[in-house]
Structure 1
Amino acid sequence: MPTERLTFTGHGGAELAARLDLPEGPHLATALFAHCFTCSKDIHAARRIAARLAGAGIAVLRFDFTGLGHSEGEFENTTFTSNVEDLELAAKALEARDMAPALLIGHSLGGAAALRVARRLASVRAVVTIGAPFDPGHVTHNFAGALDEIARKGAAEVNLGGRPVRIGRAFVEDVSAEALAPEIAKLKRALLVMHAPRDEVVGIDNAGAIFSAAKHPKSFVTLCDADHLITRFEDAEYVAEVIAAWAARYLDLRAPAPPPGAPEGVVRVTEADPEGFLQDINSGPRHHAVADEPLAYGGTDRGMSPYGFLAAGLGACTSMTIRMYARRKEWPLDHVRVDVCHDKVHAQDAGTAGPAKIDQFTRVVYLEGNLTDEQRARLLEIADRCPVHRTMEATSHIITKAG
């Protein structure tokens, strides 16, 4: 996934650091990601969501709000309103590159900011919130013990996530006065609310309030036992998958024509977990799968193995070929099931000459329907004519080039 580092000017004139994650294939749409309170653009959930969306053809801009991460400025002098302004300026920076965002994604307080800014951005057609508060003032419970000091002195240093952060009085007053209900009711964009029932930072009742205030089209997806920051890989993966699938309904993700010589497009395989073997597989902008290795081989078993995909291709092609033949003949075939197993066997056991070991795929075809014995026999013969079967039996020529 190509990533471009860039900066743009924030609300107070400070330069804000951003990453623009770009699709390796066609660019079909752009998303803008707003991170959680005092977090950064580089937290795991933001990186994983951006990677998955880029794999689906959606570019993602994620940036550090003023005074956070690699951005300039003093966080102490920011407010919820200034965060919203930074988010709007990020959208304008994208628009200047002819990449106006169609999708807004906000995590925690970033979700509240996304809800606040969405109606100001004509290009936005869909909004996603992840663990977002209905009442932005809810965030002050993270430093409730310092509120009196902030009120007296104008600012105080608090410990958030194991690091010191200075919070100013203007932030507390501004975020406490914010009311999102009217803005949500007038959103006029598709809305996806994602929240974990066991979120101990922002309670699940916030998701219910956001969902109730919104008009249709709206969707709610529970994140089960995920934590607020979506720190577990499998939770971030799930969030990313759901957003990618949901957004496709509301964004125009029609891909351009495939490159010459690839009439069915290109299957792109991208490493998803450099420390393991998980792979993202995209066939065009609409079809996604993951490949992995079993736990016994050092993988995390989150997807089929490469040989599993080979077996799946053989089984699917066999079933389709049988169905097409029976349909053409108007035979009473009610249902087809194909079980495929793969193993390494000695060549002589398979009745062939060659290397000591070869790959053997055992295919069992189940046919349901009021078929004669002759029809069943014929359909089993047709199974051997499926294109994938013929390809696997023939000698394939694989060309490898440097990218």
Structure 2
Amino acid sequence: MPTERITFPGHDGGELAARLDLPDGPVLATALFAHCFTCGKDIAAARRIAGRLASMGIAVLRFDFTGLGHSDGEFSNTSFSSNVQDLVAAANWLKARGMAPDVLIGHSLGGSAVLKSAHEIHGIKAVVTLGAPFDPGHVTHNFSASLSEIKEEGSAKVTLGGRPFTISKAFVDDVCAEKLAPAIASLRAALLVMHAPGDETVGIENASQIFLAAKHPKSFVTLDDADHLISRAKDSEYAADVIAAWLTRYVDLSPPATADGPPEGVVRVSEADPEGFLQDVQSGPATHIYADEPKEFGGTNRGLSPYGLLAAGLGACTSMTIRMYARRKGWPLDHVTVDVTHNKVHAQDAETGKSNRIDTFVRTIGLVGDLDEAQRQRLMEIADKCPVHQTLEHGARVQTKQRAE
């Protein structure tokens, strides 16, 4: 999936650094992602969620707020209000590009910011919060020991996440004065609240308050045992899957008639995790699975292995072929199962010439129903007519060419 590195002017005219994660095919919707307090656009959760949504046809713009990451400005001069205005600036940039955002997604304090900014961004259909505080002033607990100094001196240097930041009294005053209840109550978009019950940074009660303050349509989904930063890959991928499925009720994610994505008959495989082996496998806009390797081979075991996918293809094709024949004959076949194992065994045919070992797939077929012996025997014979079986036995030629970018 292509990612563009861009900049656009923020609330004060300074350049904000951003990444625009784009689908390989058509852009079905656009999301604007707001990161957590003092984090950045490249935090693992933002990167993984954006990549996963892009694989489903949703473009995602994620950027560093003023004074953070690679963006211009001084963090000490920013506030919650400036973050909200940076989000509005990001939405305006997307609109100018012809990609006005349909969805706002905010993580932690970024979730509070998208709730506040939604009414200033025309056309928003859905808002998603991840571990967001109901009261933006909640963020001050991160530097509570320095609040007295900030009040007396006007600012103080604090360490957050191992990095130094200067927190101003103006920031504290602004974030503590902000009340989200009116903005949530007047939200003119569907709301999805996602939160982990064990979140030790922003308690689950914040999710309850956000949910109760909102009017329908609204949904709540737990992130189970995820940490506040949603740092584990399986948690961020789960969040992205839920977001994409939920969005289909409120955002049209059907491809245009002239879709330039994978055409009918094309299976597209793209890396989901360049540091491992996890792959996104797509066949058209509606079908998606993962491929991976077992943990003992350096993978994460979150999908079938390549040979597992090959075996699955053989098993599925066999079952479908048997079912079609039995249906056409009107035979009482109630259920079909196909177990497939794969091994490399010594070749009996020395004429292969290339190797003394060949791939062998063993199928064990289960036929359930009031079938007589002749019918069972015929269905076993029909199994060999499966097209994938025929391809594997007869061999195939693989042609390779480079895709034009």
**What range is the shorter-chain TM-score in?**
over 0.9
71-80 vs 240-249, which moves further: 240-249
SS at match of 2:116: helix
SS at match of 1:228: coil
Q: What's the offset of the Cα at 1:98? A: 0.1
1:34 matched to 2:34? The reply is yes
Give the corresponding residue for 2:285.
285
Counterpart residue number, 2:243: 243
1:87 paired residue number: 87
Counterpart for residue 122 of structure 1: 122
Question: What TM-score, normalized by structure 2, do the two folds share?
Answer: 0.93
Deviation per residue, 1:266-316 (Å, 9 max, x gap): 322112233322222222222222111112222222211000001111111
Aligned to 1:163: 163
Counterpart-to-counterpart distance in 2, 1:286 and 1:40 = 31
Q: For residue 302 of structure 2, what is the aligned residue in structure 1?
A: 302
Alignment correspondent of 2:363: 363
Counterpart position of 2:107: 107
- Residues 316 and 257 (structure 1), Cα distance of their counterparts in 2 relative to 1, 3 Å cut: farther
Contact kept? 1:272, 1:278, Cα under 8 Å? yes
Report the counterpart of residue 197 of structure 2 in structure 1: 197
Change (3 A) 1:223 1:352: farther
Unaligned 5+ residue runs, structure 1? none
Preserved CA contact (<8 Å) 1:347 1:353: no
Q: What do the CA deviations read for 1:131-181 (whole angstroms, capped 9, x no partner)?
A: 111111111111111112222222211111111111122221221122222
SS at match of 1:344: strand
Counterpart position of 1:137: 137
Q: TM-score, normalised by structure 1?
A: 0.94
- 1:217 corresponds in structure 2 to 217
SS at match of 2:159: strand
Counterpart Cα distance in 2 of 1:380 and 1:128: 51
2:254 is matched with: 254
Hey, what does 2:152 align to over in structure 1? 152
Corresponding residue of 1:74? 74
Does the 8 Å CA contact 2:115/2:180 hold for their aligned counterparts?
Answer: yes
The alignment partner of 2:237 has SS state of helix
In 2, the alpha carbon distance for the partners of 1:180 and 1:378 equals 69
Q: Percent identity?
A: 69
> What is the DSSP-based 3-state SS (H/G/I as helix, E as strand, rest coil) of the residue aligned with 1:367?
strand
For residues 353 and 221 of structure 1, what CA distance do their matches in structure 2 show? Answer: 59
1:164-179 to 2 correspondence within 5 Å? 164-179=164-179
Q: Where does residue 9 of structure 2 map in the other structure?
A: 9
- Is contact 1:255–1:284 with CA below 8 Å preserved after alignment? no
Partner of 1:333: 333
1:321 aligns with 2:332: no
- CA deviation string 1:228-262 (max 9, x = no partner): 111222222222222233323332222245889x8
Cα separation, 1, equivalents of 2:266 and 2:251? 21
> How far off its partner does 1:321 sit?
2.0
Shift of 1:263: 5.8
Structure 1 contact 258–264 (Cα < 8 Å) conserved? no
AA in 2 matched with 1:46? A
Contact 1:49 1:240 in 2 (8 A): yes
Structure 2: segments with no counterpart, 5+ residues = none
1:112 partner amino acid: S
Look up the equivalent residue of 1:224 and give its one-letter code.
D
Task: Report deviation, 1:36.
Answer: 0.2
* Secondary structure in 1 matching 2:202: coil
Separation in 2, partners of 1:259, 1:46: 27
Give how far 1:39 is off: 0.7
Counterpart contact for 2:350–2:356, Cα < 8 Å: no
Alignment check: 8 A CA contact 2:263 2:284 kept: no
Q: 1:269 to 1:258 in 2, by over 3 A?
A: farther
- In the TM superposition, structure 1's runs of 4+ consecutive aligned residues that sit over 6 Å from their partners are none
| Cα deviation, residue 189, structure 1 | 1.9
* Range moving further from structure 2, 56-65 or 266-275: 266-275
What is the deviation of 1:122?
2.7
Q: CA deviation at 1:213?
A: 2.2
Sort the Cα spacing of 1:258 and 1:378 in 2 relative to 1 into closer, same or farther, 3 A: farther
Would the aligned equivalents of 2:25 and 2:259 in 1 still touch at CA under 8 Å? Answer: no
Q: After TM superposition, give the deviation of residue 221 of structure 1 in Å.
A: 2.1
- Separation in 2, partners of 1:259, 1:193: 32
- 2:387 paired with 1:390: no
Distance 1:333 1:289 in 2: 29
Matched residue count: 400
Instruction: Give the distance between the partners of 1:352 and 1:310, measured in 2 at CA.
Output: 25
The answer as to whether partners of 1:52 and 1:244 remain within 8 angstroms in 2 is no
Q: Give the drift of 1:96.
A: 0.2
Q: Distance in 2 between the 1:280 and 1:85 partners?
A: 35
Amino acid at match of 2:201: V
